[in-house]
């Protein structure tokens, strides 16, 4: 069962989400969320970036506690997820706007968050399709293999694992507004951590 941090645990419920992949293979997973919409977005993103997954069409929603069908709109990855570049752009612009408005966050210092925003702006300008087709299968023996040194525009230096930096930005963006893009990027950065980091490193070589 997938479990994500919730902003209001009192409203959280477990939903069984059924679906089909494009090849006709069935899917079923129980997920905790405070709405069927959020639950479906989480599952669609998890399936897109999983090694054995792909874009999913949701075919049914069931309340796991009662077994009753949930009569809400059913989502699909192709219709309801964003492209990777759109999702990452949303996240970095959300964080940038919040920083410009003087917000501070527990997820990272202001200088770190600004550097992360600058880093991913650079990635998207150098290699806008770097995140296309990412999946979970890549592995490394040590994080040193996916850590790079980044010097921002103020000449401050940061050692960062790109996926971890993006995960931090997505966490901040999620707190600013529970948008599809924030859930999608949070999932992508978590599931494809090594592949995403390698893609960023390749983009800057």
pLDDT computed for residue 107 by the predictor: 85
Domain shared by 47 and 122, yes or no: no
Between the alpha carbon of residue 115 and those of residues 47, 104, 126, 131, 186, the distances in Å are 30, 14, 16, 19, 18
Is residue 159 located within the same domain as residue 101?
A: yes
**CA atoms 116, 122, 128, 132: torsion sign:** negative
Q: Rounded to the nearest 10 degrees, what angle do helices 193-204 and 110-126 cross at?
A: 70
123/19 Cα distance (integer angstroms): 34
Answer yes or no: do 51 and 151 share one domain: no
**Residue 1 covered by a domain:** no
Tell me: do 45 and 96 sit in the same domain: no
The CATH number for 17's domain is 3.10.20
Rounded to an integer, what distance in angstroms lies between the CA atom of residue 201 and that of residue 198?
Answer: 5
Pair (22, 49) in one structural domain:
yes
Q: What is the pLDDT of residues 71-94, one digit of tens each?
A: 999 999 999 999 999 999 999 999
Domain tally for the chain? 2
- Per the structure, the complete domain to which residue 128 belongs is given by 84-204
68 and 105 co-located in one domain? no
**CA–CA distance, 41 with 51 (Å, rounded to integer):** 18
Whether the predicted pLDDT of 9 surpasses 60 = no
Which residue blocks in the chain are alpha helix, DSSP H?
36-49, 77-80, 84-100, 110-126, 162-176, 180-191, 193-204
pLDDT averaged over the chain? Answer: 91
| pTM exceeds 0.85, yes or no | yes
- Contacts of residue 149, Cβ cutoff 8 Å, sequence gap at least 6: 157, 158, 159
In terms of Cα–Cα distance, which of 14, 41, 169, 196 is closest to 98? 169
**Band of the pLDDT at 2, cuts 50, 70, 90?**
very low
Are residues 161 and 105 located together in one domain of the fold? yes
Is 2 a domain residue?
A: no
Same domain, 37 and 94: no
pLDDT for 102-146, tens place per residue? 988 988 899 999 999 999 999 999 999 999 989 887 888 789 999
């Amino acid at each position: 069962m997938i479990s994500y941090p919730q902003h209001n645990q009192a409203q959280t419920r477990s939903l069984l989400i059924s679906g089909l992949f494009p090849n006709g293979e069935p899917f079923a997973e129980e997920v905790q969320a405070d709405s069927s919409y959020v639950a479906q977005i989480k599952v669609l993103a998890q399936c897109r970036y999983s090694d054995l997954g792909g874009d999913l069409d949701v075919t049914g929603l069931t309340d796991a506690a009662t077994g009753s069908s949930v009569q809400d709109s059913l989502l699909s990855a192709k219709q309801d997820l964003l492209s990777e570049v759109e999702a990452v752009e949303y996240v970095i612009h959300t964080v940038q706007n919040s920083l410009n408005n003087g917000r501070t966050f527990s997820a990272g210092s202001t200088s770190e968050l600004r550097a992360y925003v600058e880093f991913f702006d650079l990635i998207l300008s150098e290699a806008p399709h770097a995140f296309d087709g990412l999946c979970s299968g890549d592995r490394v023996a040590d994080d040193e293999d996916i850590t790079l040194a980044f010097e921002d525009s103020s000449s401050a230096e940061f050692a960062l694992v790109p996926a971890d930096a993006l995960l931090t930005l997505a966490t901040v963006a999620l707190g600013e507004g529970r948008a599809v893009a924030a859930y999608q990027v949070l999932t992508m950065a978590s599931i494809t951590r090594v592949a995403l980091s390698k893609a960023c490193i390749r983009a800057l070589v």
